[in-house]
Amino acid sequence: MGPSEMDTSESKPLASPLTLREQAEALPGTPGVYLFYDKDDKLLYVGKAAGLRKRVQSYFRNDSGLSPRIGRMVRQISRMETRAAASEAEALLIEAELIKQRRPAYNVAFRDDKMYPMLKVTAEAFPRLLVTRRRQADGARYFGPYTDAGLMHQAVEFMRKVFPMRTCKTFPATPCLEYHLGRCLAPCADYIDAANYNRIVEDLVAFLEGRRDTLLKDLNRRMAPAAADKRFEEAARLRDQILALTSVIEAQKRSEVSGPLEQMQLALKLPSLPNRIEAFDISNVFGAFSVGSMVVFEAGKPKKMHYRKFRIRTVEGIDDFKMMAEVIRRRYSGTLVKALPFPDLILVDGGKGQLGAACTELEALALRLPAVGLAKRFEHLFLPGSQDPIVLLHSSPVLQLLQRVRDEAHRFAVTYHRRLRSETVTQSSLEGIPGIGPIRAAKLLRHFGTVGRLRAASPDAVADAAGMSLEQALLVLHSLRLPEKENKR
């Protein structure tokens, strides 16, 4: 969530002679910052986005929905630039730093520090990292302001883990909970002296100013002497800082040079690019009318001609695991194997249980296909054989793509399930027919399933299915067909 390197040199503008709308359509759907310039190359505005394409497109679709001030700005835009970010929280920090450096004409809200929160590194003997809305002449260093307080607080949580500093106004008598959580090094108990503490403060300032590569090199230089001098706690802390910052930098580079599919291959350690993703979901109400769905995405887009729906055949009652196993078995055996290519990734709607059921079926079919489960509750990803989930930021392009695929599978399953329910005779309505009790009603439901099939059946077929006399079967059909005739009058 750290800010990108704040290079004041101009980045390469998007190619012309494309129109601004065409340029916006060509942007990636990943987090980043966008910069608008007028015909004199004067910077008009800097903004952040969780998805650059969608956000920038919103300026050029129709200016009728824009405020008068923003409408005037859009009419002045001559060109635009974008800068990638690893997450929306990082984009927030980049946006604030660019606005501070460049003072764009239309970022007027930033001229009033009381409107948005800022970060403050105090000028105390042992400085603190605070959130404030008021800039004072107190010798402290201020960063921001930041337009999104929620994202800013996410960034603060990350920084307090990587750069442990005190949060207390006055020193407690003994080290507090923050020390035991590894978020403070307890200067109150002289566990760290002022010189070493201030080194951490300067590291934080370098991070906030965007000097990440320089900071990473410096941390690496300091770790070896700390270990050689047997300052093992300091060496371990430096190591953890290096790992955290390296992950941020790698995420930034991935977002700059690759799209969601490439990032997904890296995040899930897939053997190949997940160009074809097949996602599965189960839908039922208390075990009734149970169905499964399969949707297909290729190159990040739905391929609806390959969608398939499944009416559950072998499972009665409520057992999503067995239903998932049945759907997987039917997809990857029989006629569908020849009709459809194998996927690069299987996505299961659910956690370890649903994923385990799917993988057991794949093993029984002697298939080794990469699979992942996406649990709805926390949006965590699960890989086969792994106890711990993969946790991605909600702004991650990988998670957003998998959520889009999962949600489409859910929509397709629910649509099919609702259609079946609307077409299917309810057991209670059958039980209202003279001579039909719960057992016979259930038999008819299992055998015929839909209103149309039961109405169209012969009296002999109905009698055989329900174990009733021909006269009773005729009464059932008469009762079902009578409303239909009356409705046509």
Instruction: Give the pLDDT score at 9.
Output: 37
Whether the predicted pLDDT of 3 surpasses 50: no
Instruction: Give the pLDDT score at 347.
Output: 97
Better pLDDT: 309 or 450: 309
Residue 380 main-chain phi, psi, to 5 deg: -90, 150
Q: What architecture (CATH level 2) is domain 268-421?
A: 2-Layer Sandwich (3.30)
Instruction: Give the pLDDT score at 362.
Output: 94
Whether the predicted pLDDT of 410 surpasses 60: yes
Better pLDDT: 258 or 370: 370
Residues of the chain with CATH 1.10.150.20: 427-487
Rounded to whole angstroms, the Cα distance separating 435 from 454 reads 16
Rounded to whole angstroms, the Cα distance separating 178 from 164 reads 9
Instruction: Give the pLDDT score at 389.
Output: 83
Instruction: Write down the mean pLDDT value for the chain.
Output: 81
Q: Which range, 14-23, 308-317, 389-398, has the best average confidence (pLDDT)?
A: 308-317
Whether the predicted pLDDT of 358 surpasses 90: yes
Instruction: Give the pLDDT score at 63.
Output: 59
Q: Which range, 213-222, 296-305, 384-393, has the best average confidence (pLDDT)?
A: 296-305
Instruction: Give the pLDDT score at 13.
Output: 44
Q: Which tokens belong to 112?
A: 């009033």
Whole-prediction pTM value? Answer: 0.43
What average pLDDT does the segment 219-223 reach?
Answer: 82
**Per-residue b or e along 219-252, where b marks 16 or more CB atoms closer than 10 Å to that residue's CB:** beebbeebeeeeeeebbebbeebbebbeebbebb
The alpha carbon torsion through 219, 221, 227, 230 (nearest 10 deg) reads -100
The CATH code for residues 20-108 is 3.40.1440.10
Instruction: Give the pLDDT score at 183.
Output: 80
Is 465 in contact with 447 (CB distance < 8 Å)?
yes
Instruction: Give the pLDDT score at 224.
Output: 79
Residues of the chain above pLDDT 70, percent: 84
Is 459 in contact with 470 (CB distance < 8 Å)?
yes
Instruction: Name the fold adopted by 427-487.
Output: DNA polymerase; domain 1 (1.10.150)
pLDDT digits (tens, 9 = 90+) for 231-256: 787 788 788 778 777 766 665 555 55
Residues of the chain with CATH 3.30.420.340: 268-421
H helix or E strand, kind and range, residue 208: helix 194-208
β-strands 32-37, 79-84 pairing: antiparallel
Instruction: Give the pLDDT score at 415.
Output: 85
